[in-house]
Amino acid sequence: MEIGELLNQTLSPEAAVRNDATDALDRLSTLPQFPFTLLSISIGGENGGQKVAAATYLKNFTRRNVDSTHTNSGITKEFRDAFVRSLLQAEPTVLKILVEAFRSIVAVEFVKKDAWPELVPELRSVIQRSDLIDKNPNSEWKTINALTILHSLIRPFQYFLNPKLAKEPVPPQLELITRDIIVPLLAVFHLCIEKVSDAQHTSEVQTETILLIICKCIYFAVKSHMPSALAPLLPSICQDLIRILNSLSFDGGLPCKDGYSLRMKTAKRSLLIFCALVTRHRKFADKLMPDMVKCVSEIVKHSTIINKLDSLSERIVSLAFDVISRVLETGPGWRLVSPHFSSLLNAAIFPALVMNEKDTTEWEEDPDEYIRKNLPSDLEEISGWRDDLFTARKSALNLLGVISLSMGPPVKTSTASSKRKKGEKYKRKGSSSMGELLVLPFLSKFPVPTDNRENTVNEYYGVLMAYSSLLDFLTEQKPGFTETLVRTRVLPLYETPIPQPYLIASANWVLGELASCLSEGMSADIYSSLVKALTMSDIGGVSCYPVRVTAAAAIAQLVENEYMPPEWLPLLQVVCHRISDEEEDSSIYFQLLSTIIEAGNEKISPHIPDIVCLLVREISKNLPLDLEPWPQCFATLAVMAQCWEDSASEENAQDGSSQLWVSGQATMMRAFSDLLQHAWLRSAQPMEHEVAFSVPAASCVDDCSTLLGFIVQGITETDELLKLKVSELMLVWSYLIADWHAWEEMEDLSIFNCIKKAVSLDRKFAVKNFIVGKLPLPPAPPVPQKSILEGIGAFITEAFSQYPSAVWRASSCVHILLHNPSYLPEGEGVKQSLVISLCQAAFSRFRELRNKPVPLWKPLLLAISSCYLCFPDIVEKIIEGIEHESFTVFLSALAVISTSKFEHSLSSESEIKLVVMALAQSLDKLIGRLNERSSLLHDCVASLMEAFLKLKELEEEEEDEESEDQASGDEETEDDDDEDSEDDELEETEEEFLERCAKTAVEMENGTIVEEGDVEDQELEIELGCLEDVDLESTVLLVIERYHQVLLQLQLPPELISSFLEAFPECKLYFQQPQP
């Protein structure tokens, strides 16, 4: 059979054979019987490889043909039925592949369209007649396969599916599945549990598989919704789940590993069901909590052997802690759990916190993983869902934090002492929290280690972990409470004769976690301790890398919480020293240095030039041989450059500081130039031939743009251009951004800023290769190389197709590129090419949005207007070439945004000037075509007059407006403060949040929400350059004089004419109707 042979060839080790076979299958895929043939082969193929190949191709084929966004998915009823029959008969390896394709079909046909009414009744019948349920080994239907289909059927309903509803009802499909299949299966579920409970030390894989799948289906049914048929059966379901959990053994001595692994997965799912019931379905869960708590309380006691448990067993212990935490956060749950606080702390929570052999092994073998699991921070980014990061220790810490905030029994107090003080608003009158009554007294039993005995160290490790969970509790205490705790229980660890690395790393983490509640009086001692940890060398064969990393993370957290060191210089010196250590990863120290610079700002700025020089020397040793971790170093230098620029006004305002600031700027410019030359240019000698450069990592370009912008902005003399090789660097940079594909809002901003600085520099000094690239030496053809401006133009052109803020920024740059440089005759060709590419990109984006006026109309139309003013005939031809009558569309839209009726109308003088010039320029063409465009001519003239009137009003009121703004600013500030305080008092409720989200979802579906970009980008001032010299009043009045007879025929609004003549009385003659 041809398809079967082709499938065999797709398994060939030769790439050419595989590619040819795949191409042939793609051609055959258009035949009606093609998917049916694949189904047939996946079930009855000649070998396992061919079956898997058929199933895999069918999976990809189905996904391509099922489109949830269209009503016609391309899936016929005949194919659906055949697919389900194949699933019921497939081997396990094939079933696993086919079920992925089945989920795509279910999402469209069953969930979205609800167009498969026969599926549930037929599946119910199949399950009843399947081999294990009917106890008929000769049955053509396999129970495991049928339950797998059920699992795929109910899986989508674990989430809310209609974001347009604030309170989504239970989907009817879920109600149907639950009533007709899940509820009848509960009897099977109960019998299977009876079977595994009676034989605790044996396990059948098929029985365990049935239990796991049914348990997953129950979880999906209740994770978000509560089907009405399932609610009355929750007590019996919970009892069965508890029996599963009670059958677990954590000693690892069971003989059937595969079957028992399935049992553990079922237990994990059971605990997730408990969490969902307590969190989402309180009214049903309250009566079930006593049995839940009793069950999980036994499981958490296995934390004493946590070092011997595998990852799945530890996850179960972790989830058991989570169940108790969720129960405890409810009123009935507190009454259930509070009598057991002491035993929980002694027998379960603290044993999970104590250091064990698994920790020490991971510390040495994979310290980064150890830090991520136990001492996480913002400096260590974690991406993706990592189930192994949800450890029993983390769940125990979370439970301890909840317990510490719980109120203890009421105590008798005097009237005076029972008055609530400011800062104690969360304390219940006459009660103390369990943090005071239980947790801290328990932890105080463990003294600060004075030796390195293993048991003492391990236990105090648990004490430090416990302190990290008490942040919310400590925040509520009196100011000196935390200070006493840190001084007596944490800081002494740094003063021991032989520091214990495991404890120091944990102490670092604790200080970082408690950053928000530390008092200023401890600043010197805390930073002294952390700096000591930051410089700690390996001790007795034990690596201190985690100590140094956690110290850096703790310092970063303290600084970000505005908890500053008493002196910055010692800290900076240590961090820079760590960066220069070639034996250690420097990225975390660069990140820490960035945080310090941003926080310290003016206090650190005097040291920045010296630090920059030091870092550039270190970085240059390793570039371009190794780019890791150097992208982070460029980011750090960019932060320093920004910090130095921000300090300019502050420094220059002080007597004698201006010269120091300029000197520091010059030092930094030289250092940045040296670094960029080292990174980009192969030789520091003057370039005689084509510029050669090695492209750094794409993530560096934005930061390098900041460094280059710093150099460009600081140039004050022509000699500096040559010394710092600015032209060469800008040329390389323009090549890099011309090929920029990593569009991201914050990263791109520095590139746009550098573009503006580069154009400004060229206007001052006529930078070499800026507008026209230089000619290569013979014998190369005399074709100029790409200039700096052309590279910038390519970047701006691409920006028009990106996110809204990029469009605003790109439009702002269009005006700068076209009107600011001095285009000599030899540069006119470059300018024309630039106009063509920019106009095409801007109008193409406008076409996507033209059906309804949106904020992005304004920047796009303004950009096209700038192009039009440069080359009117060329721009009209370009726009008409994109689509017939497009030039009319452009002028109509331009007239719309020029009126006050447009919601996002022209706001600045430069915007109005640009539009007025463009409209005035267009009148010559429009008046020549009066008969066919009289309506358009009317709109353009009216918009021109209205915009010109607005411009005159702005110019006349500018001085008065500034004084009025100053006077009203104070009043608005007071009003804003009042509004802010009201917002603080009226927090959004859950119902209001859901209603707002539902409203937004409706607007998104209707297309009434359009991304607008950041407000800052919308307020960018247009730089008109040479257009500023245009005498706009003379231009407009000349147009009116020239075409006044035509204008009289347009029947313009009388109020508009009246206002215009009041402002320009000299035009009265032109608006007088001729006497008959």
Cα-trace Rg, the chain: 36
Question: What is d(CA 440, CA 527) in angstroms, rounded to the nearest whole number?
Answer: 25
CB 431 within 8 A of CB 413: no
Question: What is d(CA 776, CA 1044) in angstroms, rounded to the nearest whole number?
Answer: 55
Task: Determine what percent of the chain falls in helix, strand and coil, rounding each to the nearest 5.
Answer: 70, 0, 30
| Number of helices and strands in the chain (H, E) | 53, 2
SS3 of residue 88 by DSSP: helix
CB 293 within 8 A of CB 324: yes
pLDDT of residue 930: 57
SS3 of residue 245 by DSSP: helix
Question: What is d(CA 943, CA 916) in angstroms, rounded to the nearest whole number?
Answer: 8
Q: What values do phi and psi take at 327, rounded to 5? A: -65, -40
pLDDT tens digits, 891-922:
999 999 988 888 777 878 899 999 999 999 88
Question: What is d(CA 131, CA 352) in angstroms, rounded to the nearest whole number?
Answer: 45
pLDDT of residue 698: 52
Helix ranges (H only) for 199-330 are: 205-222, 234-246, 257-280, 282-285, 289-299, 311-328
Other C-beta atoms lying within 10 Å of the C-beta of residue 690 = 11
Question: What is d(CA 509, CA 517) in angstroms, rounded to the nearest whole number?
Answer: 14
pLDDT of residue 428: 46
CB 108 within 8 A of CB 73: yes
Q: Which two tokens stand for residue 272?
A: 């997730």
pTM for the structure as a whole: 0.81
In the predicted model, residues of the chain with pLDDT beneath 50 are 1, 68-72, 255-256, 381-387, 411-430, 653-656, 683-695, 932, 972-985, 1010
Region of residue 203 (phi > 0: left; psi between -120 and 50: alpha; otherwise: beta): beta
Question: What is d(CA 358, CA 999) in angstroms, rounded to the nearest whole number?
Answer: 50
For 361, residues 6+ apart whose C-beta sits below 8 A from its C-beta are none
pLDDT of residue 356: 94
pLDDT tens digits, 249-279:
887 655 446 777 899 999 999 999 999 999 9
Of 64, 67, 65, 43, nearest in space to 54 by CA: 43
pLDDT of residue 966: 56
Q: What values do phi and psi take at 409, rounded to 5? A: -65, 150
Question: What is d(CA 871, CA 828) in angstroms, rounded to the nearest whole number?
Answer: 11
Region of residue 562 (phi > 0: left; psi between -120 and 50: alpha; otherwise: beta): left
pLDDT of residue 188: 94
CB 639 within 8 A of CB 710: no
Helix ranges (H only) for 329-478 are: 331-337, 341-344, 350-353, 357-365, 367-374, 392-405, 434, 440-443, 454-468, 471-475
Of 775, 756, 673, 760, nearest in space to 720 by CA: 673
In this structure, the chain runs to a length of 1076
Give the DSSP H or E segment for 631: helix 630-646
Angle at 53 between CA 50 and CA 57, to 5 degrees: 140
- Helices 909-928 and 857-870: crossing angle in degrees, nearest 10, is 60
* Dihedral angle of Cα 200, 206, 212, 213, to the nearest 10 degrees: -160
Q: 212: exposed, middle or buried (C-beta count within 10 Å: 0-12, 13-18, 19+)?
A: buried
Q: Which amino acid is at 1030?
A: V
Q: In 134-194, at which residue ranges do the beta strands (DSSP E only) sit?
A: none
pLDDT of residue 165: 86
CB 509 within 8 A of CB 380: no
SS3 of residue 431 by DSSP: strand
CB 423 within 8 A of CB 476: yes
* Dihedral angle of Cα 600, 601, 602, 607, to the nearest 10 degrees: 80
Angle at 656 between CA 653 and CA 657, to 5 degrees: 60
For 968, residues 6+ apart whose C-beta sits below 8 A from its C-beta are none
- Helices 857-870 and 804-819: crossing angle in degrees, nearest 10, is 20
Give the DSSP H or E segment for 1003: helix 990-1006
CB 436 within 8 A of CB 508: no
CA atoms within 13 A on the CB side of 366: 8
CB 789 within 8 A of CB 770: yes
Give the DSSP H or E segment for 408: strand 407-410
Give the DSSP H or E segment for 534: helix 523-534
